[in-house]
Amino acid sequence: MIELLHISKTYRQGTQSVHALRDVSFSVQSGEFVAVIGASGSGKSTLMNIVGCLDEPTEGQYSLFGIPVEQLRGPRLAAVRNREIGFVFQHFNLVHGMSALKNVELPLVFRGESPAVRREKAEHALRLVGLEKRMEHVPSQLSGGQQQRVAIARALVGQPRIILADEPTGNLDVPAAAGVMELLEGIHQEGRTVVLITHDPAVAARAGRIVRMENGRITAC
């Protein structure tokens, strides 16, 4: 499903070159739960951005569902991100003036689905994460754990095949983090592919496979 071959990513900072990824190769099979673990600056978030088609490698080839991503441009690439990949971020990335329900509907707005269909699907997704009584609350009225559950519902609402979670427990206390991991494990058990970025060995241990990164390289997979 996901295959990276000799991926490198270099950024320019003034006159300096920063090598975020160095010759990274690994693959993820359909239905796997993979944790990518490494210290801050190891390159794991850059890797996630490339896997999620939010960034492009400087060198190497990335294939998604057997298709080289370099062949996907413009609307076609945007459609892949919207329909095939669900994103969960450390800082939730919710729209603060919108209710939980409206936040979860957003991916469906970009698909052009009708208001009635959007609402039905968003309500279902929020029930799945246990927030059926918080649908009309805005983010400021929700705890950190509840906000992350809204973010997971938003990632699920479009029925994507892949869930990418970047430090989803990083801003949560222990009980809330445990709840989020239980949700991700349930998502995986339903057959979805989950790729999780974390710096926490206890979180990584709950995945089926661990990929370790250091200084932009994979040291174990």
Splitting the chain (221 residues) into consecutive groups of 10 residues, what average pLDDT does each group show?
A: 96 88 95 95 93 94 92 86 91 93 95 94 95 96 95 95 93 90 93 95 95 95 85
pLDDT of residue 221: 85
Q: Quick one: how far is CA 57 from the chain centroid?
A: 18
pLDDT of residue 170: 87
List, in sequence order, every beta strand (DSSP E) within 107-190: 162-166
Closest listed residue to residue 88, CA positions, set 30, 189, 160: 160
pTM reported for the whole predicted model: 0.91
pLDDT of residue 12: 87
| Rounded CA separation 33/206 (Å) | 9
pLDDT of residue 14: 83
| Rounded CA separation 46/205 (Å) | 22
| Rounded CA separation 83/157 (Å) | 10
| Rounded CA separation 132/126 (Å) | 6
* Model confidence pLDDT, tens digit, residues 140-159: 999 999 999 999 999 999 99
| Rounded CA separation 189/169 (Å) | 19
- DSSP conformational letter for 209: E
pLDDT of residue 76: 87
CA atoms within 13 A on the CB side of 117: 9
pLDDT of residue 200: 92
| Rounded CA separation 149/180 (Å) | 7
